[in-house]
Amino acid sequence: MSSFFSLADLPQHFSNVILALSYFFTRLLWLRIAATIGIAINVGYEVITRTDLRVGLPWDSAFLLINLYGLYFLYRDYQRFKLPAADAAMLRQAFAGLKDMEIAQILRNSKWQSVPASAVLITQNAAVENLYLIFEGSAQVVVDDAPVGFIEPGSFAGEIAYLTCSPATATVITNQPSRLLAIAHHIMVHESQKDDDVRGIIFQILGRDLTLKMGKANSAKASAAVNDQG
């Protein structure tokens, strides 16, 4: 037992403990990092303490290179799917429930648009090609030439057409210069078909957004009715 706990062998024990702990990590990034550290310590230990390195060192070096290679690709994917810092907070709020990588995938296949006031985004009874997320500015919702509500930053336009696969039920017009994220319907369908959980979350997001807007519209109607009676 005393030889097992030799101070000279502590680096190797420490290396094995880190390697053992790496198997408990559920995120591949942390597993790779822990495994890389553990193997690197073990390589150093072998170089210092062993005279015959023909078997252990080549294999440990190979495992070390494999993990470094994996870390490189994880870092590259992280950079590729990183959300823009200026828009990250609103994106996470609007797409609450989706992971950053899933949001970034939608973002990569969408288009940013800056439009002037009075720009028609959606026309009632016409096919809707894009789902819009308003980042800056606002838009008015019009049904049969009558204003029925507003769409504020962080809310979607065109979600009814997406959820029901039908023509637009209202016209949406910007009432001030606005910055929008235009998401093609086929992109949302493609992303949602990859994973049943993602599809469910997208439907929840759009349904929640629609419910909030309908609640605001009903409150506005009730306030208007009270004012008319007064």
User: What is the tens place of the pLDDT at every residue in 14-65?
Assistant: 777 777 777 676 667 778 888 888 888 888 877 877 766 776 778 788 888 8
pLDDT at 2 over 60: no
pLDDT tier at 224, thresholds 50, 70, 90? low
pTM above threshold 0.75: no
First to last CA, the chain: 91
- Give the angle 149-115-94 at the CA atoms, nearest 5°: 55
pLDDT tier at 1, thresholds 50, 70, 90? very low
Radius of gyration of the chain measured on its C-alpha atoms: 28
Q: How far apart are CA 215 and CA 10, in angstroms?
A: 64
Q: How far apart are CA 123 and CA 181, in angstroms?
A: 18
Alpha-helix runs per DSSP H in the chain: 10-22, 28-49, 56-80, 88-94, 100-108, 159-164, 185-194, 196-229
Read off the pLDDT of residues 94-140 as tens digits, 9 standing for 90 and up.
Answer: 999 888 888 888 888 789 999 999 999 999 999 998 999 999 999 99
- The predicted pLDDT at position 217 comes to 67
